[in-house]
Structure 1
Amino acid sequence: MSKILLAEDDTDMRRFLVKALQNAGFDVTSYDNGLSAYQRLREEPFELLLTDIVMPEMDGIELARRAAELDPDIKIMFITGFAAVALNADSTAPKQAKVLSKPVHLRDLVNEVHKMLAA
């Protein structure tokens, strides 16, 4: 069972994503901010970091950058309503990161997660 770390500050969205991913057979750990998610990443490995970009305490881009420093093999996926502005060419986000724009259909999310983890 693949382990996913989810960082999403919107409580309803976080619950929605956790339930969908768990129903698809993933082991999901979630946090409502980037800093708490980063602290967990320092404690144990995850196969995938699924993060919003705009969050309090530490944004998703910084979280992804630090996650990639801790584990260069971690897969990174952003879910955001600000994809076009947040991930420009000068972004410090890991280049291999996948971006899904909100609103995202749960089936599409689960399919993209399966693809990333299979790659």
Structure 2
Amino acid sequence: MIRILLAEDDTAMRTYLKRALEQAGYSVAAVGSGTEALPLIQTEIFDLLLSDIVMPEMDGIELAQRCSDLSPSTKVMFITGFAAVALRANRETPQAKMLSKPFHLKDLVLEVERMFEDVAAASL
């Protein structure tokens, strides 16, 4: 089962996204900040880091960079409502996918599925 680490500081959004991803068949660990996510990345293996970019304490870009150092195989997808922040993220973490708010939950699930199509094909 694909494991996702969700870092989103908005409690309602975090709950909403976690529920949708679990209903789509993913295992999801959800935290409210980058500083909460970091210890999990250090001790567990995740297939995907799904992170808001704008968060207090440690933003999603710094979290993704640290994740890349600690777990290079973990894929990264950002969610953001700020276009300028999205442009910065694309420059600083070019391997990451970007999903701009607002988005429909089915779009999120489709993007996650696309990121792991190669994994699904390999297991056939």
Normalising by structure 2, we get a TM-score of 0.89
Where is the helix percentage greater, Structure 1 or Structure 2? 2
- The Cα RMSD (Å) is 1.5
What is the CA–CA distance in structure 1 between the aligned matches of 2:79 and 2:101, rounded to whole Å?
6
Residue type of the partner of 2:115?
Answer: M
- Verify: 1:110 aligned to 2:100, yes or no: no
* Residues matched between the structures, number: 118
Identity of paired residues, percent? Answer: 53
Secondary structure of the residue aligned to 1:17 is helix
- In the superposition, the TM-score normalised over structure 1's length comes to 0.93
| CA shift digits 1:48-89 (9 cap, x unpaired) | 00000000110000000110111111110001001x211336
Instruction: Give the AA of the match of 1:118.
Output: E
Structure 2 CA distance, aligned partners of 1:54 and 1:12?
A: 16
Alpha-carbon deviation of 1:104? 1.2
- 1:50 and 2:12 equivalent? no
Partners of 1:75 and 1:117 within 8 A in 2? no
Structure 1 counterpart of 2:6: 6
How far apart are 1:9 and its partner, in Å?
A: 0.3
Q: How does 1:53-68 map to 2 (within 5 A)?
A: 53-68=53-68
2:16 alignment partner in structure 1: 16
Report the CA distance between 1:93 and its aligned residue. Answer: 3.3
Which structure 2 segments of 5+ residues have no match? 119-124
Compute the displacement of 1:107 (Å).
0.2
Pair 1:105–1:57, CA change in 2 (3 A) = same
8 A contact 2:61–2:89 mirrored in 1: no
